[in-house]
Amino acid sequence: MKPQIRNQLKRYRFFLMLAAVNLAILAFFPETGRKSVTITGSNLLEMLSVIPPIFILLGLLDVWVKRETMIKYMGEGSGIIGVLLAFFIGSAAAGPLYAAFPVAIALLRKGSKLSNVFIMLGAWSTTKIPLVLFEASALGLKFMLLRLGMNILGIAVIAYFTEQVLSKEEKELICQKASLS
């Protein structure tokens, strides 16, 4: 087998395994298999509707925002401004959490501090503005403020602690892998 084909198979092995599992379920349990294929197709369509706009925005970020600007506002010496900007990016973002990872890679490539990227990911998953507004209307302002405050504090503490625990080599490896993506 050619190395190129072997590399492609290795790269897509999980997808291929899941496709095989879906086909096996369809063959042995047709009703469950149809549901599985329907759900898989629905998830695929959802991803295809979310990912292209994210990549367009990332392309614009890459062109419009200079590395020096990103380092100034979200890099090592950014302080509270970087933290607030990371919370804002994560909270104002649209789309599911898997769309946040390409954004995280772009931020790392541009020189963002690792803890700010962790904050952005945490905010993306728990402090989205539509979620906060829904909670305020459905569960009450007191609950929303309590949960939001605890999430903000927890995200900041976890991001800072995680960055402190990582060795310099581990941080460099993360940034290096982001550059290769």
Q: Sketch the domain layout of the chain as residue ranges.
A: 1-50, 65-180
Distance between CA atoms of residues 158 and 74, nearest Å: 17
- In this prediction, residue 181 carries a pLDDT of 66
Question: Per-block average pLDDT, block size 10, for the chain (181 residues)?
Answer: 82 89 92 91 86 84 86 90 94 86 91 94 92 92 95 95 93 86 66
- In this prediction, residue 112 carries a pLDDT of 92
First to last CA, the chain: 25
Q: Report the half-sphere exposure of 6 (CA within 13 A, side-chain side).
A: 3
pTM above 0.75, yes or no: yes
- In this prediction, residue 117 carries a pLDDT of 95
- Residue whose C-alpha is closest to residue 89's, from 45, 119, 51: 119
